[in-house]
Structure 1
Amino acid sequence: MLNRHIIVIGASAGGVETLSRLVKLLPAELPAAIFVTVHFPSYGTSLLPQILNRCGTLPALHPHDGDPIEPGRVYVAPPDYHLELHDQHIRLSRGPRENGHRPAIDVLFRSAAQAYNQRAIGVILSGMLDDGTAGLKAIKERGGVAIVQDPQEALFDGMVRSAINNVSVDAVLPISDLAARLVALSQDVIQEEPAMSDNFEKEAKAVAASKADLEQGHHPQTSPSMVTCPDCGGVLWEVKDNGLIRYRCHVGHVYSSDSLVSEQASLVETALWSAVRALEEKAALSRRMAKQAHDQHRSMSEAQFVARAQEAKQQADVVRRVIAEQTKKEG
């Protein structure tokens, strides 16, 4: 007989404020360990443990690789490291990004599902897009509990609505009720049952087998998609998991449909700005060549370079308008 002593929480935009409110409501004697992944830039510095320490009675910290898991603590994933749970210990890894993030919520949730089955509680809070949906689904499929913040209360409701739409969640609650539910669940006594198989590992093996088939000139088990990985440029395989579609390259980068669209939009914008730079540099160089031709009294060459400069400048202005129009649509 065991209790649900592993609580994993995922948040993104608006998550710091929401987490601060949540930990303030949790008691110091909570018989569970809390693990938090919030999206941070890889190059950034996270002050989230200090913020949470000022808000509540549970000590918060960035763990080290190999630290033992202790109840009554809040472990926060450090920037540029996935936070994973393995056999009563914490693992930090710099494995492939998932949904464009490291740390990624899905990585934490999936490791909790694999290691703790029914003893895991997954919580999705405020955030955009859909990181955490697949991980919450894994927790639910292995007998754990899935809870989502009320989207009417969330500062950004993308992540919570994605979870509600794709996972059979156990509760949708405002933060005040969510805290009370976590306390009650952590005190429940449960009987652990045999776990289901791991779909994510099956995906990895299927992609590896398909890649090997292609290398040998055989027909692959799973056909590669027409899309390339935004991280490494490798081919992405489309894999399906009970209605959820993910895209995975053979080195391990994983994207949901929403995250992949977002990353591709970012790459398109980067390419457009690169085009603006190249065109404006072409115009500048053409003006420089026109000046040189003028000084050498080569009027025909001067006119050609002036025309090239004007054409490049006009093209750059067109691309700038495309970027501005796209930004307006997305806003």
Structure 2
Amino acid sequence: MNHDIVVVGTSAGGVNALQTLCSGLPKDLPSSVFITIHTGPDAPGYLAEILARMCPLPVVYAGLREEIQTGKVYLARSNLHLIVKRGQVISRFLAKENGTRPAIDPMFRSAAQSYGRRVIGVVLTGNLDDGTAGLGIIKDEGGIAIVQDPNDAVFNSMPLNAIKFVKVDHVVPLSDMAPLLVDLVRREVKSEGLPESPVTEQSERLFTCPGCGGPMHEYLNHNALWYKCQVGHRFTPEAMMEKQNDDIEERMWNLLALLRQKAELNRTMASDARCSREGTPVHPDYFETQAREAQKAAATMEALLEERGQTLFPGPPEKTASKLEEMRRERNERPESRA
């Protein structure tokens, strides 16, 4: 046996990285290559065509279920996880992991569990830490772990986390990645025993799943933490924190919209109370007071959002102001925020 299963995970900056990697693979590569890159659910699906222009191997999007062919590159489909099973590549609509679908960890994990030491796992440029837990499982099963040199990556969070928590075998710049893979896939799989897998521990602490609101348990492997809920959502710590930050910001925008609506409604009611010939049981001043308090609270919330924007988008004031205006415009265009 040789290392005939190569799984590659990437995110931000990944399209250019994959172009460089795939262009260096020979047409007689005795291995199948599986790639997951983070994409949105409405991604146009041009990546296979882009990579096929420069890759000597055929590049296709993985089918719902098809036999694996040696010398072929399979891409994860938009909004579906790519799962590697014995002899088959499967696209499945499973729970999101690390807030995304497709995610890298389920591909790494399934390949390791199906093919063991025959697997080579590759982590390229990207944000946060998707792929770290899966790369650890590849190592547990005796496979090879390769990470792009963080100094060479456009976005280095994924490579840095993989190196931090997994005992990787090779850290190389992108230009050396294809030659290294060509060398490794032609080598025979080592026959010595597998390394002792660390015990996966479940803590007593419970967290709320950002995906569904259900309880999540904390797991530990290779000193790396991840969280899993009962329906299958999985998050690494960085991905979970990112999702929580997004949820907090969304609720802040919703609260700002509600406060503005409350202020406007109270101003309308004050005006109606003044114009009423028969009088009203509540004096117009009451509504005016409510409107001022709501407007004051809205101003405080807007200031908090601006402060958050300064943190998220540091730089020249005009650039930050432009980004904040873009955020406000996007938020105001959402149907739920309209009065």
Matches within 5 A, 1:53-64: 53-64=52-63
Residue 221 of structure 2 is matched in structure 1 by: 241
Residue 7 of structure 1 is matched in structure 2 by: 6
Preserved contact between residue 117 and residue 195 of structure 1 (Cα < 8 Å): no
Residue 73 of structure 2 is matched in structure 1 by: 74
Q: Distance in 1 between matches of 2:69 and 2:156?
A: 31
Three-state SS of the structure 2 residue aligned to 1:30 is coil
Say which of 248, 251, 255 aligns to 1:271.
251
Residue 331 of structure 2 is matched in structure 1 by: none
Q: 1:191 to 1:112 in 2, by over 3 A?
A: same
Three-state SS of the structure 2 residue aligned to 1:46 is coil
Say which of 240, 253, 264 aligns to 1:260.
240
For 2:149, the aligned partner's letter is: D
State the shift of 1:161 in Å. 0.3
For 1:303, the aligned partner's letter is: D
Preserved contact between residue 81 and residue 102 of structure 1 (Cα < 8 Å): yes
Is 1:223 equivalent to 2:204 in the alignment? yes
Is 1:39 equivalent to 2:41 in the alignment? no
Question: What do residues 5-51 of structure 1 show as CA deviations (whole Å, max 9, x unaligned)?
Answer: 11100000111111111111111111111100011112333221111
Q: Distance in 1 between matches of 2:12 and 2:190?
A: 36
Is 1:52 equivalent to 2:51 in the alignment? yes
Q: Distance in 2 between matches of 1:160 and 1:38?
A: 14
Q: Which moved more, 1:157-166 or 1:54-63?
A: 54-63
Q: 1:85 to 1:247 in 2, by over 3 A?
A: same
RMSD: 1.9
Three-state SS of the structure 2 residue aligned to 1:3 is coil
Three-state SS of the structure 2 residue aligned to 1:190 is coil
State the shift of 1:223 in Å. 2.5
Q: TM-score, normalised by structure 1?
A: 0.89
Preserved contact between residue 124 and residue 148 of structure 1 (Cα < 8 Å): yes
Q: Distance in 2 between matches of 1:128 and 1:311?
A: 41
Preserved contact between residue 224 and residue 235 of structure 1 (Cα < 8 Å): no
State the shift of 1:141 in Å. 1.4
Three-state SS of the structure 2 residue aligned to 1:143 is coil
For 1:151, the aligned partner's letter is: P
State the shift of 1:194 in Å. 5.9
Residue 318 of structure 1 is matched in structure 2 by: 300
Question: What do residues 129-161 of structure 1 show as CA deviations (whole Å, max 9, x unaligned)?
Answer: 000000011111111110011111111000000
Matches within 5 A, 1:47-196: 47-192=46-191
State the shift of 1:65 in Å. 1.9
Q: Distance in 2 between matches of 1:110 and 1:321?
A: 44
Three-state SS of the structure 2 residue aligned to 1:102 is coil
Q: 1:95 to 1:27 in 2, by over 3 A?
A: same
Q: Distance in 2 between matches of 1:86 and 1:199?
A: 24
Say which of 257, 270, 275 aligns to 1:295.
275
Q: Which runs of 5+ in 2 are unaligned?
A: 314-339
Q: Distance in 1 between matches of 2:270 and 2:191?
A: 79
For 2:264, the aligned partner's letter is: A
Q: Distance in 2 between matches of 1:302 and 1:79?
A: 55
Q: Distance in 2 between matches of 1:193 and 1:283?
A: 72
Preserved contact between residue 97 and residue 104 of structure 1 (Cα < 8 Å): yes
Q: 1:196 to 1:81 in 2, by over 3 A?
A: farther
Q: Distance in 1 between matches of 2:90 and 2:191?
A: 24
Identity of aligned residues (%): 38
Three-state SS of the structure 2 residue aligned to 1:49 is helix
Q: Which runs of 5+ in 1 are unaligned?
A: 207-221
Q: Distance in 1 between matches of 2:83 and 2:196?
A: 19
Preserved contact between residue 118 and residue 193 of structure 1 (Cα < 8 Å): no
Moved over 3 A (4+): 191-200, 297-300
Q: TM-score, normalised by structure 2?
A: 0.87
